[in-house]
């Protein structure tokens, strides 16, 4: 891919002796905020179905992948070719139903197989299936991931109605804690309620982060409409 090779060449030049002063002093740590911001901008573009912006933001993500790889290459750790080789091997290894002899066909079976392969890969590193969840994940994504991981080994409600009943139960407990005027207890019960709602979303195959992004935009539109009406009435 000529364009990809050109991108690598551009990053090398930016990092080179006669390159950009800003690019030359960047580190893995210094680029983390920029990388996270770009990731969220991709999500926003996808939610807006803005394909031109999606294309642009994916380019920014790709730049970071190449940049991080170049930083590692400077320290003789790995390079962009190693990154590509690693993901190629992982995809082949985790899709034995495509590249191997596995007969699994349905989506649930494929997901279960994926988790089993991941568990086998990390069996020497993690004591629990939950140990593989990144500590740096935003708290909602981390909670959702905890629920998904636990469910992958059968730790979940038997049906969605049970999960919905649990939400109602937790809401009652929130009200009781509120009436007790016990802030610490209320905080705990609110946490339980949120986790239960996240699990209900998981069981319905709904990403709660996307749900919240959409409702944020809806709130923003409604509030801005009220602002406009208020200005017109002044």
Closest CA to 61 of 45, 38, 80: 38
Q: Which of the listed residues 61, 78, 95 is the one where a domain comes to its end?
A: 78
Above 80 in pLDDT, residue 58? yes
pLDDT value for 156: 92
- Over the stretch 10-27, which tens digit does the pLDDT of each residue have? 999 999 999 999 999 999
> Residue 160's pLDDT band (boundaries 50, 70, 90)?
very high
Cα torsion 137, 142, 146, 149: sign: negative
Closest CA to 147 of 168, 129, 123: 129
- Over the stretch 183-192, which tens digit does the pLDDT of each residue have? 999 999 999 9
Q: 125 phi and psi, to 5 degrees?
A: -105, -35
Domain count, the chain: 2
Above 70 in pLDDT, residue 126? no
Question: Which run of H or E residues covers position 217?
Answer: helix 208-232
- Over the stretch 191-221, which tens digit does the pLDDT of each residue have? 999 999 999 999 999 999 889 988 998 999 9
Structure tokens at 220: 């923003």
Q: Which of the listed residues 37, 55, 78 is the one where a domain comes to its end?
A: 78
pLDDT value for 124: 60
Residues of the domain holding 187: 133-233
């Amino acid at each position: 891919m000529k364009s990809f090779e050109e991108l690598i060449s551009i990053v090398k030049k930016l990092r080179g002796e006669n390159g950009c002063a800003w690019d030359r002093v960047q580190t893995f740590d210094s680029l983390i905020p920029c990388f996270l911001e770009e990731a969220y901008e991709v999500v926003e573009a996808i939610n807006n179905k803005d394909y031109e912006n999606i294309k642009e933001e994916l380019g920014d993500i790709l730049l970071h992948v190449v940049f991080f790889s170049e930083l590692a290459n400077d320290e003789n750790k790995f390079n962009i070719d190693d990154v590509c080789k690693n993901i190629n091997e992982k995809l082949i290894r985790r899709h034995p139903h495509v590249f191997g002899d596995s007969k699994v066909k349905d989506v649930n079976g494929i997901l279960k197989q994926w988790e089993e392969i991941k568990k086998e890969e990390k069996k020497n590193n993690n004591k629990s299936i939950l140990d593989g969840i990144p500590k740096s994940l935003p708290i909602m994504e981390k909670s959702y991931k905890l629920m998904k991981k636990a469910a992958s080994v059968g730790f979940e409600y038997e049906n969605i109605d049970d999960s919905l009943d649990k939400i109602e139960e937790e809401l009652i407990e929130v009200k009781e804690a509120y009436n007790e005027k016990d802030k610490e207890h209320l905080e705990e019960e609110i946490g339980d309620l949120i986790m239960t709602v996240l699990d209900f979303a998981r069981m319905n195959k709904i990403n709660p982060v996307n749900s919240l992004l959409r409702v944020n935009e809806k709130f923003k539109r409604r509030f801005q409409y009220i602002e406009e009406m208020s200005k017109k009435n002044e």
